[in-house]
């Protein structure tokens, strides 16, 4: 019984291990796609490959991200594309986007830029781990430890 309590205590006091997944935030621009690739801790995914694939898997555009993780992919034909960002150690992120070359006015270009920044901010806030998720995880582990101790006490 004491060993179970010790294990539960060690699990409750252990430090979290943060995995770093690759994230991709992109939107259609006037000439193709523009966006940013970054890791879950918000560090830019610099020098990573980003490709645009058609529905049948053909690559139509390919680029590397800059030092800030930003990229642009020129697209000429309207359609639905899958953007794939490939990082080190097998990290991969995908986004499915539609592209239609717009007949734009200068105001629309400014609005697109502003919307892209808002999309990136929203994606960053979604990828953060919130305190209620951490507390829920600890409660789950404590509950499992309690069930294990109850089961061992019955034996």
- Among candidates 77, 38, 39, which has minimal Cα distance to 58? 77
pLDDT value for 8: 66
pLDDT value for 129: 65
All domains of the chain, ordered by start, with CATH? 22-131 (2.60.40.10)
Terminal Cα distance for the chain, rounded: 11
Mean pLDDT by 10 residues, the chain (155 residues): 67 54 83 87 88 90 92 89 86 86 60 70 67 82 91 86
pLDDT value for 67: 93
CB 95, CB 82: distance < 8 Å: yes
Contacts of residue 17, Cβ cutoff 8 Å, sequence gap at least 6 = none
Contacts of residue 116, Cβ cutoff 8 Å, sequence gap at least 6 = 27, 29, 34, 35
């Amino acid at each position: 019984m004491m060993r179970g309590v010790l294990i539960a205590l060690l699990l409750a006091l252990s430090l979290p291990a943060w995995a770093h997944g690759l994230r991709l935030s992109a939107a259609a621009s006037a000439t193709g796609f523009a966006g940013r690739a970054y890791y879950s801790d918000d560090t830019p995914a610099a020098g990573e490959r980003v490709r645009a694939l058609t529905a049948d898997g053909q690559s139509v555009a390919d680029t590397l991200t800059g030092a800030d993780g930003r990229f642009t992919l020129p697209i000429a034909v309207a359609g639905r594309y899958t953007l794939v960002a490939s990082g080190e150690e097998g990290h991969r992120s995908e986004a499915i986007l539609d592209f239609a070359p717009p007949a734009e006015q200068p105001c629309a270009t400014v609005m697109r830029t502003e919307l892209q920044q808002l999309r990136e901010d929203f994606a960053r806030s979604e990828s953060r781990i919130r305190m209620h998720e951490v507390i829920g995880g600890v409660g789950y582990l404590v509950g499992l430890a309690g069930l294990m101790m109850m089961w061992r006490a019955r034996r």
